[in-house]
Amino acid sequence: MRKIRLNLRKVIATTAICLAASATMFAQETGVVINGVTWATRNIDAFGTFALTPESSGMFYQWNIKDAANFLLYADYFASDFSKATSWLPANDPSPAGWKVPTKTDFDKLLDVTKVDFLWTTVNSIYGVRFTDKTTGNSIFLPAAGYRDGNNGALLGVGIYGNYWSSKSKAAATLTA
């Protein structure tokens, strides 16, 4: 079943998309407005940079950790202060300047089927979801990038799941093919 939902489970590491935090935009990305929210058209790659293409997964970030390369296994992660935060600390937000990790409310607007269409599709051989504003026709593509296993760091669910962090309470938007 193909579905999209906002999920409050503890996902250990997932991809990150961001939205405009202010009028100052990163030169590489202008974003698109979907249901009143300005979304980046690409995921976050290395800290403070966007992925080169909209279909790129970017890097996999753990909740509130700015270094995607320093993956912590379950025991270490949940023993750390990172896992105890209820919001993504600004110093750890991997978004480029002028952008931020979306809130649950931002994701709720993206998932509002009365104003936004979604279609599971393939872009340059990458499977994921295209969200399109019903009024403006603006769209973004979120790849079904999978997630990292907390026991060993293995990448799982590529082409089946796409988990995207929100900025509060470790909520993740989950795309399921």
pLDDT score of 160 = 85
Using DSSP's 3-state secondary structure scheme, residue 3 falls into: strand
Please, how many CA atoms are within 13 Å of residue 103, restricted to the half-sphere of its CB?
7
* Distance of alpha carbon 102 from alpha carbon 107, whole angstroms: 7
Q: What is the DSSP letter of 115?
A: T
Each residue's pLDDT tens digit, 13-59: 555 565 555 433 334 567 899 999 999 998 888 899 888 898 998 88
The strand pairing partners of 19, in sequence order, are 39, 100
- DSSP E strands, 40-149: 60-61, 99-100, 116-123, 126-133, 139-143, 147-148
Q: What is the pLDDT of residue 115?
A: 97
Average pLDDT over residues 95-106: 86
Q: Which pLDDT value is given to residue 112?
A: 93
Would you say residue 169 has pLDDT above 70?
no
Residue 139, pLDDT above cutoff 80: yes
Angle (CA) 36-110-101 rounded to 5° is 85
In one-letter notation, the amino acid at residue 171 is A
Tens of pLDDT, residue by residue over 67-97, are 888 888 888 888 888 888 888 888 888 888 8
pLDDT score recorded for residue 25: 37
Q: Sign of dihedral through CA atoms 144, 47, 102, 153?
A: positive
Question: Taking 50 as the threshold, does the pLDDT of residue 66 lie above it?
Answer: yes
Q: How confident is the model at residue 157 (pLDDT cuts 50, 70, 90)?
A: confident
Q: Pick the residue with more confidence: 3 or 89?
A: 89
Indicate the range of 6-10, 117-121, 155-159 predicted with least confidence.
6-10
Q: Is 76 helix (H, G, I), strand (E, B) or coil?
A: helix
The pLDDT value given to residue 177: 64
pLDDT of residue 90: 86
Q: Which residue has the higher pLDDT, 26 or 64?
A: 64
Residue-range definition of the domain harbouring residue 151: 3-176
- Domain tally for the chain? 1
Beta carbons of 83 and 4 less than 8 angstroms apart: no
β strands within 55-177, DSSP E: 60-61, 99-100, 116-123, 126-133, 139-143, 147-148, 155-156, 161-165, 172-176
Structure tokens at 117: 């269409």
Over pLDDT 90: what percentage of the chain? 21
